[in-house]
Structure 1
Amino acid sequence: MNGADEQLLTDLFRVITLIRRSFDRAMTEQGASLAQTKILMCIKAQLGTARAADIAEIMNLAPRTVTEALDGLEREGLIQRVPDRDDRRVKRLAITPAGEAAVAVTEPLRLQLGGKLLKALNPSERRHFHAALQKLLQGLDDA
């Protein structure tokens, strides 16, 4: 890898880090962090059938990481664990009204922040950037 490639990767990782920090800070101020919002949306998409193991698989996270995140969401009153009707050993995840309210505020904010971010690129630059990202993703899928 040459110096220009190394700088490109450094800049890419810096952009990713700054985007996450910026989004997370703004979203946390409104009720749920970026990570919490992602988990809440994942639970919501499962329509009350999700288990911690399902969330870990969908989000490609370690089960312990998901358990700790769910513990925090439960402490904050954003989710609740509900015993499965057919197997009392299994806990299903449900979003509380407070969790629904957090998603209702933070998800539109995430989209708004993304729109502001992309305004730095003109439509042609966005198309080229998207195409380059697709190639990177394909390369990762192939690896």
Structure 2
Amino acid sequence: MDNGFSVEFLGNPDDQTKRIPSLGEIGLNNFAPYIMNRIMARWNSNLAEDMKARDVTTVKMRALAVLNVSSSLTINELSVFAVTEQSTMSRTLDSLEEQGLVRRVPRADDMRVRDVTITDEGRAVFEDVWPIMYNDMCRMFKDIDDEEYRTFVTTLHKILRNIRRHDI
């Protein structure tokens, strides 16, 4: 079965007849998860540095970003979209709510479920940090044209579908 890889060291994980290459044979610079981790660690570090002066942590920024484009989400949904543990998101929302940046409202049909929405104040904070996020992204994709970017995002979506545990 063809797995779609053109690189010879990537094989079909279901084929038990082939030898699995060592990480040394693949090399860290060809091991995509390693490269993705390096990129995201640098991205998060840069953003954390930029957000510090605004008293916005990376998790707060992610929550505000997601809520800025979503009308309302549960804590579990927000945790998935903001890529953080539910317990961390819960503590983050406590802080954001104390700052007046989000609102948690019990659902009328199920009081156990709370919908989280961004307030006008939260939207203003996000609008303040958005140019920083956008400029950091543009710097990250410097010298990458529109077609390369679209292809890259398409590939990332395929990878996400392959490893996804949530429907969202």
Give yes or no for TM over 0.5: yes
Residue 73 of structure 2 corresponds to residue 53 of structure 1:
no
Q: 1:138 aligns to what?
A: 158
| CA–CA separation in structure 2 for the residues paired with 1:86 and 1:139 | 36
Q: State the match for 1:102 in structure 2.
A: 125
Larger helix share, 1 or 2: 1
| Gap regions ≥5 residues in structure 2 | 1-22, 164-168
**Corresponding letter in the other structure for 2:37:** F
Q: CA separation in 2, counterparts of 1:79 and 1:109? A: 21
Q: TM-score scaled to structure 2, two decimals?
A: 0.62
Q: Percent identity?
A: 18
**Cα separation, 2, equivalents of 1:109 and 1:4:** 36
Q: Tell me which of 89, 94, 117 is aligned to 1:66.
A: 89
Unpaired runs of 5+ residues, structure 1, are none
Which residue identity does 2:162 align to in structure 1? D
Q: Are 1:41 and 2:68 counterparts? A: no
Give how far 1:98 is off.
Answer: 2.3
TM-score by length of 1: 0.71
Pairwise CA distance, 1:95:
1.8
The alignment of Structure 1 onto Structure 2 pairs a total of residues equal to 139
CA RMSD after TM alignment: 3.1
Aligned with 1:79 (options 102, 123, 133): 102
Matches of 1:12 and 1:50, distance apart in 2: 28
Matched AA of 1:100: R
Deviation at 1:102, TM superposition (A): 0.8
